[in-house]
């Protein structure tokens, strides 16, 4: 799996280089993005977790008028469900990595943006203490991939706002997730993949 992630990262870098026009060094610029919203757990985590607040910080490095390199860091706080008579611990889910972001709207549409992005990186999942066993805590880091869409409006050069959603896929070790299976073996299954889908609104500021 790590080999495939590395190959995908190389593909992203190659794709970015292919879009870089001659003389683009003078056109490059950096932008910061801050986002906040709600993080929705996918099927695997939703067995024992509810949605919770999320936040995301990104740094974009412009390669051309429609293509950017993207470094991201996202934090989600999922709320544990009551499973039968047992309360599942809250989870902190942190996703981080690099990717490619492309504006799908022609440059003739000066203010509107529709951005698609893909990326690779890591995912750290850390739980609070388990109520059934206060000595147990889930704390693991795995490889991950990301894909998403953003719709935005550029109010003026260097400042815009947007809404969007991403899907972060985490490639876990199934044996590790037996800790969650122990919350209720009858209803909670172990898993080797898990995803979260933050729905965010935010602003972008060029620096």
What is the model's pLDDT at position 202? 97
Question: How far is Cα 90 from Cα 48, in angstroms, rounded to an integer?
Answer: 9
pLDDT of residue 3: 52
| Candidate from 1-15, 74-88, 114-128 with smallest mean pLDDT | 1-15
Domains and CATH numbers, the chain: 2-18+30-206 (2.40.160.20)
Contact 41, 149 (CB under 8 A): no
Phi, psi values for residue 2, rounded to 5°: -60, -35
In DSSP terms, 49 is beta-bridged to 80
The pLDDT tens digits of the residues spanning 73-90 come to 999 999 999 988 889 999
Report, as an integer, the average pLDDT of 38-66: 95
| Whole-number pLDDT of residue 13 | 42
Q: What percentage of residues in the chain have a pLDDT greater than 70?
A: 86
128-151 pLDDT per residue, tens: 999 877 678 999 999 999 999 999
The CA–CA distances, whole Å, from 128 to 28, 82, 107 equal: 43, 14, 47
Residue 16: predicted pLDDT? 44
Quote the pTM value: 0.82
First to last CA, the chain: 36
């Amino acid at each position: 799996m790590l080999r495939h992630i590395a190959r995908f990262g190389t593909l992203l870098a190659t794709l970015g280089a292919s879009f870089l026009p001659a003389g683009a060094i003078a056109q490059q610029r950096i932008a910061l993005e801050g986002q906040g919203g709600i993080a929705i757990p996918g099927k695997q985590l939703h067995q024992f977790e509810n949605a919770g607040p999320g936040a995301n910080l990104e740094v974009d490095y412009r390669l051309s008028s429609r293509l950017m390199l993207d470094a991201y860091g996202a934090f989600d706080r999922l709320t544990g469900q009551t499973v039968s008579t047992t309360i599942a611990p809250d989870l902190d889910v942190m996703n981080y990595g690099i990717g490619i972001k492309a504006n799908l709207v022609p440059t003739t549409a000066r203010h509107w943006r529709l951005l698609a992005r893909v990326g690779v990186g890591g995912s750290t999942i850390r739980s609070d203490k388990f109520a059934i066993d206060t000595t147990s805590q889930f704390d693991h880091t795995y490889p991950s991939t990301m894909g998403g869409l953003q719709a935005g409006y550029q109010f003026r050069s260097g400042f815009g706002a947007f809404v969007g959603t991403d899907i972060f896929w985490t490639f876990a070790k199934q044996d590790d997730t037996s800790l969650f299976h122990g919350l209720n073996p009858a209803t909670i299954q172990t898993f080797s993949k898990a995803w979260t889908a933050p729905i965010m609104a935010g602003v972008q500021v060029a620096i």
